[in-house]
Amino acid sequence: RLNRIVALDPARRRAVVEPGVVNAQLSEAALPHGLLYAPDPSSQTACTLGGNVAENAGGPHCLKYGVTTNHVVALEVLLPDGTLAQLGSPQGEPWGPDLAGLFVGSEGMFGIALQITLRLEPLPAAIRTLLADFPTVRSASEAVSAIIAAGIVPAALEMMDQACIRAVEASIYAAGYPVDAGAILLVELDGEPAAVEGESAAVEALLARAGSRSVRAASSPSERARLWQGRKKAFGAMGRIAPDLVVQDAVVPRSALPAVLERIDRIAAEYRLTVANVFHAGDGNLHPNICYDGRDPDLTERVRRAGGEIMAVCVEAGGSITGEHGVGSDKLNYMPMIFDAESLAAMCAVRRVFDPDQRANPRKVVPVHYCREYGRVGAAPRPDLPHALGEAAVEQDGGGRPRATPESTDGVAQVCGLAHAHGWRVRVEGQGTWMPPDAPADLTLTTRGLARIVEVAPADLVATVEAGVSLAALQRELEAQGAWLALDPPGRPERSLGSVVATGTAGALRHGFGPVRDHILGGTFVTGDGRAIRAGGSVVKNVAGYDLTKLQVGGFGAFGVVTQLHLRLRARPAERVTLMARGERDRLTHQARALMERRLAASALELLSPAAAAEAQWVLALEITGTDAAVAAEAGRATESAEVPWDRLEPERAAALWSAASRAPLGGDITIRLGVFPDGIDEIIDLLEERLDTGLVAAGPGRGLLRWSGAADPETLRTFRRIAAEREIPLTLERAPWDFRHALGHFGAYREGVGRLVARLRSTFDPAPTFAVALEGTGHD
C-alpha cells in the first residue's frame, strides 16, 4: 500500500515515490511532462520501484541510460532497528559518503526503502527501432561488438535466439519476428532526428557487414510497441515450451558473447535440455532460460547442474554470476566463484552495519560461514617495513618520516596490517597534486608504485588500472587504442586515478557522462587493518553482492586504500566541438536553461567565472562529442536562436579553455563542492559573493553542482556550510590544508541516521583508525 507517487517535479526532472509504485506507472505519470523513467525491466508492468532499488534492476534501455543505481538520488530508509536514515540528496550529491549507492542492490538486507527520489529523463525527440535478422547467434553477436566498438551507444541492443523467437511467435505476443532466423537483434536509437538518422545508417551498415539477412525499421509507434512486447513478454511465452522455467542471469564481456553462447549450447546438449536465449546483448547480460518440467526429479537435477556450469563458463570468461536479478538464495553458492573469503566477509560486515541482528531478509547474498570470518585478520604483521616490502620500497620523505612505496595490493596490505598492529597513523598519497600531503602521520604510504595499466579491452570498453596511474598516462594509452575515459576531474593531468576516486571529483564532463561513480565498475581496496577486499567486477553490468565500490568513490580514503580499479570506457568520439559564450552571468544561466529545455545532447555544459576560464567575462562553455553528423546537428541547434553569441573554438583554444577550467580549483587553498540544482546556481553564487567571493567558480547549469576555490578561515566556511545546509545544499570539502580539514571535515551536517552508519562503517574498515583522514571535523553534528 506504499504505492503513491508523492511528487513529480518536471522542471528539476525528479520524482519522489513510495516503494510500492509499479515501475511502468512512473513513466506513465511522467509522460505528459515529456519525461520518462529510464530503467525498464521486462517485468515493468508488475515489479515495484522498491524491488528495483533492492535489486538494482536493469532493462533494455539501461544500455544508454544506466541501471537503477544511476537514477536513484535519495532514499528514506527504515533500518531494521526501527530508526530512519536519509541517504543521498535530491540534487544527487550526498551529505557524506555515498550511502544511497551502497544501499541500492542490497537485496532488502540493509532495511526498507520507504521513499525513493528518482531522476527522470526527457523523452527523446526521435526513436528508430530496427529488427535485424541473422542466420546464426554468432553473426548477431559479432554485430553487437561491431556497433559498440564503433562508438555508437544505442538506447537498447537486445538479442533473441531461434528457440526464443519461435516461442514468442507461437504465443499471443507474436511480434512478426522471422521464425527461421538463427537470431534477431532489436536495435533502438534515440535522440535528435538528425543524429538518429546518421547513427541508424551507420548501424544498418554494420549489421549488414556482420551478415544480417534483412533489417527492418518499425514504421509506426504501434509496430515499435509490438516489437518490444515480443521481447518483454518472451519469458511468459516460454511457458509454451515446458511448464517450468529457470531464468538464468549472468554477464560476460561483450566480445566473449559468441564463444560463451556456443559453450552454453554445448552444455544444453550435454544435459539434454532446452535453452532459449533472450538478453541484453549490448551489456553482455545473458539470460539463458532453461525450460523443463519440475515434476521430473532427474530433469530438475540436470537443470541445476547445467545452471552451475553456465555460471562457471561466464565467470571463466571474466564475467559475473548476475547482471540484474541478484543473488538471493539461488546463487548464494556461486558467490565464492567471484569473491574471495575476505571480500565476502567484508560484505557481511557491511550488512551488520545496517542490520546488526541480521533480521532483514536473512540468509541471502553471502553464504553464512563467510560472515563468521571477518575479524580474523588475514595477513600476519611482519616485524618491520623493509622486511615486508624490501629495502628499496621504504625511504624517508621530506619531513624525515618513513615513506612506503608498495608495488602491489599485497604490499599495501602488508603496510596497513603492520601499521594497524603497531598503532601507527598512515597518510595515503597519490601523486600529491590535489590534496596537500600534510596530514600528521607516522608513515606515508604512496600509491606511486602502483603504476601499471593492467589491461585495456577496447572491444569491451573496459580497463583495469592500478590506483597510482595518472589520468594523463591512462588517456594517452586509451587514445592509442581508440578508447576514452570520459572523466575530466579538476586538478593537474598527472593526478592519480586513486585520488580522483577517493575524492569523487568529476569535472565538466559529468554533464554528459555522470559523476565519478558511473565510471567505476569495481576494484580492490585495502582496509586500515590490512585486508584486501574486492568489490564489483570488470563487466559493465553486475549486481553480485553489495556494491562496496560506492563506499570508496568519494569516501576520501576513510574506508580503505584503493589499489586497483576496473573502469568503464567510451569509444573515442569521432568529433569534439567546444562552443563558448561570454557575458553577464544571469544571461548565460538563462541561455543554459534554454539549451536544457531544447534537450541539447552535450557532453559538457559549464558556467565559469572569469578567472576560472581565464577570460574577461563569465563564460558558458559547451562541449559536444559524437559522430560527425550528430555533432554538426547539435552544434547547429545550440547556436540557432541563441540569446548570446557563441564562438566555436579551434581545437587548441578549446584545449586551453578546458585546461584552465581544470586547474582553476587549484587556484585557492580550499576547494569545495556544493550539491545545488541547476535552478539554484544563481542564488548560491550570490551567496558566495556575499559570504566568500566569486573568484574561482565552476557550475553545471544543466545538471547542477558547483565548485568554488579560494581562501577562507574555517569558521567562515563552517558558517557557510550551515547556511547552505539550511537551504538543503550539501557542502563537501574537496581539498584544503590539514588544519582546515581537521577543523571542518570533508563532510558535515549529516542528515538523519547518516552519522551513526558512517561511524560504524569506518570502524568496520579502519578499526584503529589507521588512516589519517578527517571525514568529519571537530564539533560536527
Ligand X SMILES: Cc1cc2nc3c(=O)[nH]c(=O)nc-3n(C[C@H](O)[C@H](O)[C@H](O)COP(=O)(O)OP(=O)(O)OC[C@H]3O[C@@H](n4cnc5c(N)ncnc54)[C@H](O)[C@@H]3O)c2cc1C
Binding mask 112-141 for ligand X (x = CB under 6 A): xx----------------------------
Q: Is 545 in the site for ligand X (CB under 6 A)?
A: no
Of 71 and 707, the one with the shorter C-beta distance to ligand X is 71
Binding window for ligand X (CB under 6 A); candidates: 35-43, 136-144, 211-219, 378-386: 35-43
Shortest Å distance, C-beta 111 to ligand X = 7
Binding window for ligand X (CB under 6 A); candidates: 43-51, 297-305, 553-561, 586-594: 43-51
Of 58 and 230, the one with the shorter C-beta distance to ligand X is 58
Shortest Å distance, C-beta 607 to ligand X = 37
Cα–Cα distance, 323 to 72 (Å, whole number): 18
Specify whether the CB–CB gap between 502 and 552 falls below 8 A: yes
How does DSSP classify residue 361? S
Of 47 and 259, the one with the shorter C-beta distance to ligand X is 47
Binding window for ligand X (CB under 6 A); candidates: 54-62, 653-661, 704-712, 717-725: 54-62
The three-class DSSP label of residue 560 is coil
Binding window for ligand X (CB under 6 A); candidates: 106-114, 185-193, 329-337, 446-454: 106-114
- DSSP β-ladder status, 274-279 and 156-161: antiparallel
Task: List, as one string, the DSSP characters of 293-358.
Answer: -TT-HHHHHHHHHHHHHHHHHHHHTT-BS-SSS--TTTTGGGHHHHS-HHHHHHHHHHHHHH-TT-
Binding mask 313-332 for ligand X (x = CB under 6 A): -----------xx-------
Of 59 and 730, the one with the shorter C-beta distance to ligand X is 59
Cα–Cα distance, 399 to 582 (Å, whole number): 46
Residues 225-262 as b/e (b if ≥16 CB within 10 A, e otherwise) read eebbebbbbbbebbeebbebbbebbbbbbbbbbbebbe
Of 108 and 417, the one with the shorter C-beta distance to ligand X is 108
Binding mask 611-650 for ligand X (x = CB under 6 A): ----------------------------------------
Nearest to 365 by CA among 334, 389, 388: 334
- Share in percent of the chain as helix, strand, coil (round to 5): 40, 25, 40
Cell of 24: 511502468
Of 112 and 614, the one with the shorter C-beta distance to ligand X is 112
Binding window for ligand X (CB under 6 A); candidates: 51-59, 189-197, 486-494, 501-509: 51-59
Binding window for ligand X (CB under 6 A); candidates: 40-48, 484-492, 612-620, 632-640: 40-48
Shortest Å distance, C-beta 331 to ligand X = 13
Shortest Å distance, C-beta 659 to ligand X = 41
Shortest Å distance, C-beta 332 to ligand X = 13
Residue of 8, 41, 534, 700 that binds ligand X (CB under 6 A): 41
Cα–Cα distance, 775 to 97 (Å, whole number): 9
**Residue 426 phi/psi, 5° resolution?**
-120, 135
Residues 33-42 as b/e (b if ≥16 CB within 10 A, e otherwise) read bebbbbbbbb
Q: Which residue has the cell 573469503?
A: 341
Shortest Å distance, C-beta 318 to ligand X = 21
Shortest Å distance, C-beta 43 to ligand X = 3
Of 248 and 503, the one with the shorter C-beta distance to ligand X is 248
Residue type, 600: L
Shortest Å distance, C-beta 228 to ligand X = 12
Residue of 5, 24, 47, 341 that binds ligand X (CB under 6 A): 47
Q: Is 43 in the site for ligand X (CB under 6 A)?
A: yes
Of 114 and 473, the one with the shorter C-beta distance to ligand X is 114
Cα–Cα distance, 11 to 243 (Å, whole number): 48
Extended strands (E) in 470-599? 483-484, 520-526, 532-536, 561-568, 570-571, 575-583
Binding window for ligand X (CB under 6 A); candidates: 104-112, 411-419, 482-490, 664-672: 104-112
Binding window for ligand X (CB under 6 A); candidates: 48-56, 122-130, 435-443, 584-592: 48-56
Closest CB to ligand X: residue number: 51
Binding window for ligand X (CB under 6 A); candidates: 53-61, 160-168, 459-467, 544-552: 53-61
Residues 227-286 that bind ligand X (CB under 6 A): 235
Q: Is residue 353 left, alpha or beta, with left meaning phi > 0 and alpha meaning psi from -120 to 50?
A: alpha
- In terms of DSSP H, where are the helices of 423-546? 471-480, 497-503, 510-513
Cα–Cα distance, 40 to 17 (Å, whole number): 16
Residue of 96, 97, 108, 530 that binds ligand X (CB under 6 A): 108
Binding window for ligand X (CB under 6 A); candidates: 41-49, 152-160, 486-494, 660-668: 41-49
Residues 3-22 that bind ligand X (CB under 6 A): 19
Cα–Cα distance, 391 to 409 (Å, whole number): 18
Total number of residues binding ligand X (CB under 6 A)? 22
Of 106 and 145, the one with the shorter C-beta distance to ligand X is 106
Of 72 and 506, the one with the shorter C-beta distance to ligand X is 72
Binding window for ligand X (CB under 6 A); candidates: 45-53, 131-139, 261-269, 576-584: 45-53
Residue of 55, 133, 161, 606 that binds ligand X (CB under 6 A): 55
Specify whether the CB–CB gap between 580 and 646 falls below 8 A: yes
Cα–Cα distance, 556 to 551 (Å, whole number): 9
Binding window for ligand X (CB under 6 A); candidates: 50-58, 299-307, 308-316, 394-402: 50-58
Q: Which helix (H) or strand (E) covers residue 394, if one does?
A: strand 394-396
Binding mask 369-408 for ligand X (x = CB under 6 A): ----------------------------------------
Q: Is 718 exposed, middle or buried (0-12, 13-18, 19+ CB in 10 A)?
A: buried
Residue type, 3: N
Residue 388 CB contacts under 8 Å (≥ 6 apart), including other chains: 382, 411, 414, 415, 418
Q: Measured in whole angstroms, how far is the alpha carbon of residue 655 from the centre of its chain?
A: 27
Cα-Cα-Cα-Cα dihedral of 423, 429, 430, 432, to 10°?
180
Q: Is 69 in the site for ligand X (CB under 6 A)?
A: no
Residue of 27, 52, 447, 578 that binds ligand X (CB under 6 A): 52
Nearest to 375 by CA among 763, 777, 779, 645: 763
Residues 339-368 that bind ligand X (CB under 6 A): 361
Shortest Å distance, C-beta 87 to ligand X = 12
Shortest Å distance, C-beta 100 to ligand X = 13
Of 107 and 161, the one with the shorter C-beta distance to ligand X is 107
- DSSP β-ladder status, 112-119 and 14-17: antiparallel
Cα–Cα distance, 324 to 321 (Å, whole number): 10
Applying CB under 6 A, the residues found at the interface with ligand X are 19, 41-43, 47-48, 50-52, 54-55, 57-59, 107-108, 112-113, 235, 324-325, 361
